[in-house]
């Protein structure tokens, strides 16, 4: 293999590929990226067996070929070539020679036959999804996913198809976030569970794209393809909780408050919260009170009274402040509506007048 390429394009592609490599001691080839050069194109591949990425860039191919090298070594070398615009890659003596006008390195190569195949998701009818909306859907819910892998379905993000929208859902059993993204036309599909840890890399890989991406599905994989980028993730085999049945229908108390006022109050309250991050809401429509209190025997206590529109029954209920404050990033409007049916059931949090995002947070036991 012998090729000439533009350094910035190579660095961009290698950076995306290197993020997906794995530091697997038993399979050191997973720390590698595979470089394949032919037909004026360099295809860069990486995988950690959960995720696979292929990204292509135009190059001048003097001699076609392929080589597997450490992704981190190649990226760190190329990214520090500040004074060079062009890079030459050449396979010499079984290793990769990387050279520029001012610098030259030899990087140890690994057997290319040891590099795993990246699954190709074959389907006759892929559907398209606007990338900014796809990323918006993921980011609106991903913080609610469990970080534990004990229950894989809870450490995943659900994608579900509905008539005029795609629904994104995540839960760790203490809180749940649902985001609906409207779409004009899309292929109906069964529920898909994407591992939470893969979603961040999918976002980072696609975040520069402002157009539609092709989405390919089968029972084991989901893949996203746009131009010279192809990324695939395994999907989790399991059944997501039937969360719709736990969304309260019989609302007895409702509070509408400015988002910034509630956010500031919660941040102040957290200064005085206990080790469980507990905050207590007292809501009374009769007395027109929405009060947030926190108490810590070692620090002190705090009371915040907020201006709010209150309807319904009086209630006193406690929550983990962190679970409430997390959802603010998903609410675009200036005001928030809190809806309660019972002190033992989840509170609904929505942007006022916005049904596209629903957040449920369970109360804390007394």
- Residue-wise pLDDT for 265-301, tens only, equals 999 999 998 888 899 999 999 999 999 999 999 999 9
Question: Could you tell me the end-to-end alpha-carbon distance of the chain, in angstroms, rounded to an integer?
Answer: 68
pLDDT at 366: 54
C-alpha 266/C-alpha 276 separation (Å) is 14
Report the topology of domain 127-243. DNA Polymerase III; Chain A, domain 2 (3.10.150)
- Reported as a single tens digit per residue, the pLDDT across 79-88 is 999 888 999 9
Exposed/middle/buried for residue 183 (C-beta within 10 Å: 0-12, 13-18, 19+): middle
pLDDT at 4: 97
| Contact present, 67 and 96 (Cβ < 8 Å) | yes
Residue 13: closest CA among 205, 284, 253, 217: 205
> Measuring CA to CA, how many Å separate 205 from each of 82, 118, 149, 179, 225?
24, 16, 23, 21, 11
pLDDT at 276: 86
Residue 55: closest CA among 12, 113, 24, 97: 12
**Confidence (pTM):** 0.92
Question: What's the alpha-carbon Rg for the chain, to the nearest Å?
Answer: 25
Identical fold at 127-243 and 247-361?
yes
pLDDT at 48: 95
Residue 244: closest CA among 280, 195, 191, 283: 191
Residue 51: closest CA among 273, 242, 256, 204: 204
Assess if CATH 2.60.40.10 describes domain 247-361. Answer: no
Helices (H) and strands (E) in the chain, counts: 6, 27
String of DSSP letters for 109-171: EE-GGGSPPPPP---S--EEEEHHHHHHHHHHHGGGS-S-SSSGGGGEEEEEEETTEEEEEEE
Boundaries of every domain in the chain: 2-114, 127-243, 247-361
Write out residues in the chain with pLDDT < 50, as ranges: none
Arch. (CATH architecture) of 2-114: Roll (3.10)
């Amino acid at each position: 293999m012998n090729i000439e390429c533009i350094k910035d394009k190579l660095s961009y592609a290698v950076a995306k590929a290197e993020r997906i490599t794995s530091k697997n001691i038993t399979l050191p080839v997973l720390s590698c990226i595979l470089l394949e050069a032919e037909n004026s194109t360099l295809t860069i591949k990486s995988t950690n067996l959960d995720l696979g990425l292929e990204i292509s860039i135009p190059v001048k191919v003097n001699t076609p070929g392929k080589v597997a090298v450490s992704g981190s070594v190649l990226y760190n070398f190329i990214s520090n070539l500040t004074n060079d615009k062009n890079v030459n890659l050449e396979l010499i003596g079984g290793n990769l020679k990387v050279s520029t006008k001012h610098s030259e390195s030899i990087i140890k190569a690994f057997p290319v036959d040891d590099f795993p195949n990246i699954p190709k998701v074959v389907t006759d009818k892929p559907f398209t999804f606007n990338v900014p909306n796809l990323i918006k859907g993921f980011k609106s819910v991903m913080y609610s996913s469990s970080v534990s892998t004990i229950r894989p379905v809870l450490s995943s993000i659900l994608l579900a198809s509905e008539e005029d929208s795609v629904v994104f859902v995540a839960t760790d059993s203490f809180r749940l976030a649902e985001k609906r993204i409207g779409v004009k036309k899309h292929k109906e599909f069964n529920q898909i569970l994407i591992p939470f840890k893969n979603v961040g890399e999918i976002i980072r890989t696609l975040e520069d794209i402002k157009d539609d991406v092709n989405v390919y599905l089968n029972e084991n994989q989901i893949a996203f393809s746009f131009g010279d980028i192809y990324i695939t993730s395994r999907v989790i085999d399991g059944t997501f909780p039937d969360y719709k049945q736990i969304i309260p229908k019989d609302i007895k108390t409702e509070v509408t408050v400015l988002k910034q006022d509630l956010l500031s109050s919660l941040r102040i309250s957290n200064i005085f919260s206990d080790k469980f991050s507990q905050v207590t809401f007292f809501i009374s429509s009769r007395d027109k009170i929405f009060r947030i209190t926190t108490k810590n025997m070692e620090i002190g206590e705090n009371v915040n009274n907020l201006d709010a529109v209150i309807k319904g029954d009086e209630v006193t209920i406690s929550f983990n402040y962190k679970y409430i404050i997390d959802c603010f990033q998903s609410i675009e409007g200036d005001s928030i509506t809190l809806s309660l049916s019972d002190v033992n059931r989840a509170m609904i949090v929505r942007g006022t007048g916005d049904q596209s995002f629903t957040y449920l947070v369970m109360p804390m036991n007394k």
